């Protein structure tokens, strides 16, 4: 048996990976797991991981052999967050920042109380693709660093600045102090998103999947926009709505660049 293969659940790396399945432990250690070949490779190309864990069948195929630990197959399955693990995961340090550090003259997405992991991850993935300058995640949201959220973001957590555990009143005050217009996305918004000027310093709030943007937050906003819907549909998935609005902002900025 190869003495370099980890076979014990008492190993410190195995114990830490197991601990990182808990949100509480992720917060305490300021570390999280990225799993799957494509996602690990994408993330590692941007930010060096603390270390990489692979199953025996995956040994020798990692981006950083020096930081790689090989784990017995059955033990790797225990620390994996998926039903059918690909055999590779990496541990990274938290990469979130303060909203004050990334707010610039651009489009900011605010997520308020989103509870679905897929929506959080998909919104961040789209934000990276649409050139958003930052994502602000409220304290009431699901954990950006959770296993499902990280998978849904498809390795793009490193592609867009974001702040977690934000308090909405303080955040809107900061944005307005920086010259931003803060707009809620709501089914009863006064103007269609496609008719709103989303260039310049603009922040759009996407609310909870079931209840939308809270009344308290709407009172802090400068207005509300809506997405027109046909066929009697009353609402859209939160990540889909966020994606449409972000790409409308992206489109408007492209038009402005072409004109300028």
Residues 108 and 46 in one domain: no
Residues 138 and 59 in one domain: no
Q: 119-152 burial, b for 16+ CB within 10 Å, e for fewer?
A: bbbbbbbbbbbbebbbbbbbebbbbbbbbbbbbb
Which of 93, 118, 143 delimits the end of a domain?
A: 93
- Number of domains observed in the structure of the chain: 2
The DSSP output letter for 212 is: B
Residues facing residue 254 across a β-bridge: none
Please report, for the domain that includes residue 41, its CATH number: 3.30.1330.30
Please report, for the domain that includes residue 169, its CATH number: 3.40.1280.10
Domain holding 59, by residue range, is 5-93
Convert the pLDDT of each residue in 108-160 to its tens digit.
999 999 999 999 999 999 999 999 999 999 999 999 999 999 999 988 899 99
Residues 160 and 253 in one domain: yes
Residues 193 and 225 in one domain: yes
Which of 93, 122, 155 delimits the end of a domain?
A: 93
Which of 93, 126, 145 delimits the end of a domain?
A: 93
Residues 69 and 158 in one domain: no
Helix %, strand %, coil % of the chain (to 5) = 40, 20, 40
Query: What is the pTM (predicted TM-score) of this model?
Result: 0.92
Residues 61 and 167 in one domain: no
| Residue 60 CB neighbour total at 10 angstroms | 9
How much is the mean pLDDT over the chain?
92
Return the pLDDT at 3. 58
Return the pLDDT at 260. 61
Those residues whose C-beta lies under 8 Å from the C-beta of residue 128, and which sit 6 or more positions away, are 156, 159, 160
- pLDDT band (50, 70, 90) for residue 1: very low
Residues 131 and 235 in one domain: yes
Return the pLDDT at 156. 87
Give the Cα-Cα-Cα angle 129, 165, 92 (nearest 5 degrees): 60
């Amino acid at each position: 048996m190869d003495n370099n293969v980890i076979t014990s659940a008492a190993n410190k790396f195995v114990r830490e990976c197991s601990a990182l399945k808990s949100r509480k432990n992720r917060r305490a250690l300021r570390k999280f797991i990225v799993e799957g070949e494509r996602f690990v490779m994408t993330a590692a190309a941007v930010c060096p991981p603390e270390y990489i864990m692979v199953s025996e069948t995956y040994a020798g195929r990692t981006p950083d052999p020096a930081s790689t630990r090989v784990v017995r197959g059955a033990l790797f399955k225990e620390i994996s967050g998926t039903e059918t693990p690909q055999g590779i995961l990496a541990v990274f340090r938290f990469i979130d920042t303060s909203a004050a550090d990334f707010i610039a003259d651009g489009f900011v997405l605010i997520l308020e109380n989103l509870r679905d992991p897929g929506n959080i991850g998909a919104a961040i993935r789209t934000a990276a693709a649409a050139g958003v300058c930052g994502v602000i995640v409220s304290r009431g949201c699901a954990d950006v660093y959770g296993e499902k959220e990280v998978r849904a973001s498809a390795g793009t957590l490193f592609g867009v600045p974001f702040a977690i555990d934000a308090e909405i009143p303080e955040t809107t005050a900061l944005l307005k102090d920086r010259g931003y217009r803060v707009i809620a996305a709501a089914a009863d918004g006064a103007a269609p998103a496609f008719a709103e000027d989303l260039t310049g310093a603009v922040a759009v709030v996407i609310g909870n999947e079931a209840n939308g943007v809270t009344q308290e937050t709407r009172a802090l906003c400068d207005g509300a926009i809506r997405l027109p819907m046909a066929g009697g549909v009353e609402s859209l998935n939160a990540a889909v709505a966020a994606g449409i609005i972000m790409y409308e902002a992206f489109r408007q900025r492209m038009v402005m660049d072409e004109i300028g």
